[in-house]
């Protein structure tokens, strides 16, 4: 049996704050796993941090494994319609359709749960655990609760990715194959780029200030103005000689 040094993902998040890059890596690994499951007609149905095992790779990066398939079900010759999952991670269609004998849900229920997992990993908060905020968001009363992600400096692509995973309508939600090629994974995206631009602007301002200081200290004293012959009071005109001003004629 393999020894799991880091334990589960929830324990890791409780011990330390994970960066956006670490959250992105975890998300990408989970998407790769979820992309394989539909081809095997398998839905996990209880994706949450305690069911995600964390191990450290030789490079020091986090590597995760999806565990606890006790609630998983094969969709071969049957339909997914049992109301099953964990509060705070269960998809909207699972709750809405759980009491129906005819309605079903799909593998996309796992993608909603993945969005909840990433929301927890990047904010250390389970934002939609209580019924009221969950109901208000899933019924369109309020928009996606992105404030916590903004406050944690998550880039726009990361917020977009989680929002598209947690779209209440499953037909509009990302599939695993679509999530796998999302721009957050393949195109990068980080607020550090914005910080670099701001740093460049600051450097430019510092350079301009330096040039002004050099002008005042070294060049201004060399400028000579002769006002003795100025009778009109007009500002003296500059001659061809650099730094020399002559009175108007």
Reported as a single tens digit per residue, the pLDDT across 147-191 is: 999 999 999 999 999 999 999 999 999 999 999 999 999 875 544
State pLDDT tens for residues 28-51.
999 999 999 988 889 999 999 999
At 94-120, the pLDDT tens digits run 987 444 555 688 999 999 999 999 999
Domains, in order of start, for the chain: 9-190 (1.10.510.10), 194-246 (no CATH)
- pLDDT of residue 210 exceeding 70: no
46: annotated active-site residue? yes
Give the residue with greater pLDDT, 173 vs 74: 173
Give the C-alpha separation, 226 to 222, whole Å.
Answer: 13
Q: What pTM does this model have?
A: 0.72
Catalytic residue among 8, 35, 46, 226: 46
- pLDDT at position 240 over 60: no
| 135-153 as b/e: b if 16+ CB within 10 A | eebbeeeeebbbeebeebe
To the nearest 10°, the Cα dihedral for 8, 12, 18, 21? -30
């Amino acid at each position: 049996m393999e020894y799991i040094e880091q334990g589960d993902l929830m324990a890791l998040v409780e011990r330390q704050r994970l960066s956006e890059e670490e959250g992105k890596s975890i998300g990408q690994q989970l998407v790769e796993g979820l992309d394989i499951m539909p081809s095997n007609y398998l839905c996990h149905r209880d994706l949450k941090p305690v069911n995600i095992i964390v191990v450290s790779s030789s490079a020091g990066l986090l590597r995760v494994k999806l565990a606890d398939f006790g609630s998983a079900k094969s969709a071969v010759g049957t339909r997914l319609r049992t109301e099953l999952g964990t509060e705070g991670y269960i998809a909207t269609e699972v709750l809405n359709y759980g009491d129906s004998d005819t309605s079903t849900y799909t593998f996309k229920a796992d993608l909603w749960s993945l969005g909840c997992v990433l929301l927890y990993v990047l904010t250390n908060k389970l934002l939609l655990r209580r019924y009221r905020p969950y109901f208000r968001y899933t019924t369109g009363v309020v928009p996606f609760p992105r404030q916590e992600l903004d406050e944690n400096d998550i880039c726009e692509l990361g917020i977009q990715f989680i929002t598209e995973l947690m779209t209440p309508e499953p037909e509009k939600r990302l599939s695993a194959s679509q999530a796998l090629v999302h721009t957050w994974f393949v195109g990068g995206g980080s607020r550090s780029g914005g910080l670099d631009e701001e740093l460049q602007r600051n450097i430019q301002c510092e350079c301009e200030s330096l040039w002004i200081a050099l002008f005042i200290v070294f060049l201004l004293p060399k400028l000579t103005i002769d006002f003795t012959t100025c009778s009109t009071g007009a500002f003296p005109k500059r001659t061809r000689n650099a730094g020399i001003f002559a009175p108007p004629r």
